[in-house]
A = this chain, B = another copy of it.
Amino acid sequence: MLRGGFGGMTARGRTVTEAPAGLVVYAPALNRDLVTPELRPRLLRSCRWLLPDPVADFEDPRVAKSLDRVEILLTGWGCPRLDADILDRMPGLRAVFHAAGTVKNHVTEACFERGVRVTSAAAANAIPVAEFTVAVILLANKRAFRLQRRYRELRGFRLWSKEFPGLGNHQKTVGLVGASRIGKKVARLLSAFDFDVLVHDPFLGAREVSDLGVEACSLDDLLRRSDVVSLHAPSLPTTHHMIDRRALSLLRDGAILVNTARGALVDEAALTQELVSGRLDAVIDTTEPELLAADSPLYDLDNVFLTPHIAGSQGGETSRMLEVALDELERYVAGQPLHEEVRLEDLDRIA
């Protein structure tokens, strides 16, 4: 019988309590990077783990027979969907601590209906996405991805500023679509450089605009005025294909579109047409579907730097997300307020 964070223990109290019983649920291959030597002891003592290793399949007999004792889940990429059926088999489930960004792939409305608390590590995942975004903006303005290929082809020099008018990062305008956690972090990192930063976000207040040192504007204005447009909006029905043919047509010739957010934000057919024609450049880390069709011209265009969804946490970067999940789990056990809780109503506005 458990007490502790679920009743007896308060943040002030130091009652020794039995920890809640839990499972770690993510693709086991992630374990090596996620659980650093520094985090392992914290992970081990944070909960009474019903199985010694991460699991990814609730139907595995070892896992299946422990489900009725589960009170918390520490989840990550590869956790199966927590639908009503599986929740019926975990009647004691109280909380899900997600050691990754979006919870939308596994957390369902049924979790919230049953009062299961949910936290996400989106805060930690925002760091590498923002870093990657700033790096590709700096290199795309230098046309570095194109010049790398051009040099390979020419094996000679040209006056690059003649081939690429407006080359460089001096006094460029960067437009951020969406002042999400990532969008704001990008804005803060960009302040170290010589950019004018525009932001379009219907939910951004005047105070935040001024704190970020950016200029708020409409999406159309942003598209017309920016040298680089970087997408940081969540993927929602309301943002589906927000960058459509008309939006793309507002971009100036030679403008650069950066998508480290979600493929669904962009009408890929329309973008592909603008890229095949050579009118625009793009850095694309996310497409819809996630794996780009094998016959897409985007793989081979010189004006496209296409990466396989790597802006988010990779390798050692994933351990930051476990750290957030453990922070939350420890707060929960100590009866303290959670910092990164996701509520049902958030699902309509977050990534």
A147 within 8 A of B: yes
Whether B306 pairs with A165 at a CB distance below 8 angstroms is no
A249 within 8 A of B: no
Question: What does the 1/0 interface line of A300-330 toward B look like (CB < 8 Å)?
Answer: 1000011111110111111110000000000
> What is the copy number of this chain in the assembly?
2
Whether B161 pairs with A299 at a CB distance below 8 angstroms is no
CB neighbors of B among A256-313 (8 A): 290-292, 294, 299-300, 305-311, 313
A131 within 8 A of B: yes
Complex interface: chain B residues within 8 A of A310 (CB)? 142-144, 147, 160
CB-nearest residue of chain B to A140:
B135
Question: What does the 1/0 interface line of A161-179 toward B look like (CB < 8 Å)?
Answer: 1101111111110000000
Task: Say which size band chain A's interface belongs to.
Answer: 35 or more
Whether B320 pairs with A170 at a CB distance below 8 angstroms is yes
Choose among B30, B139, B193, B299 the residue that contacts A155 (Cβ–Cβ < 8 A): B299
Complex interface: chain B residues within 8 A of A44 (CB)? none
A159 within 8 A of B: yes
Complex interface: chain B residues within 8 A of A238 (CB)? none
Provide the bound-state CA to CA distance between A164 and B161, in Å: 35
A55 within 8 A of B: no
* Least CB distance, A173 to chain B, in whole angstroms: 12
* Least CB distance, A157 to chain B, in whole angstroms: 6
Provide the bound-state CA to CA distance between A166 and B144, in Å: 25
A95 within 8 A of B: no
Complex interface: chain B residues within 8 A of A314 (CB)? 142, 160-161, 167-168
Provide the bound-state CA to CA distance between A311 and B160, in Å: 12
- With A135-B138, A167-B315, A319-B170 known as contacts, the answer to whether A308 contacts B151 (CB < 8 A) is yes
Complex interface: chain B residues within 8 A of A139 (CB)? 132, 135-136, 139
Whether A169 pairs with B138 at a CB distance below 8 angstroms is no
Residue in A131, A290, A311 with the greatest tally of chain B CB atoms within 10 Å: A131
Whether B156 pairs with A313 at a CB distance below 8 angstroms is no
Query: 11 additional contacts, CB 8 Å, given A168-B313, A170-B317?
Result: A29-B159, A128-B169, A134-B135, A135-B139, A148-B305, A155-B292, A160-B310, A160-B315, A166-B316, A167-B314, A167-B316
| Pairs A-B, 4 closest by C-beta atoms | A167-B315, A168-B317, A135-B138, A161-B315
Query: Could you jot down 24 A-B contacts, CB within 8 Å?
Result: A29-B159, A128-B168, A131-B193, A132-B138, A132-B142, A132-B144, A135-B144, A136-B144, A139-B139, A143-B310, A148-B305, A150-B308, A152-B299, A155-B294, A160-B308, A160-B314, A166-B315, A167-B315, A168-B315, A168-B317, A168-B318, A170-B319, A170-B320, A172-B316
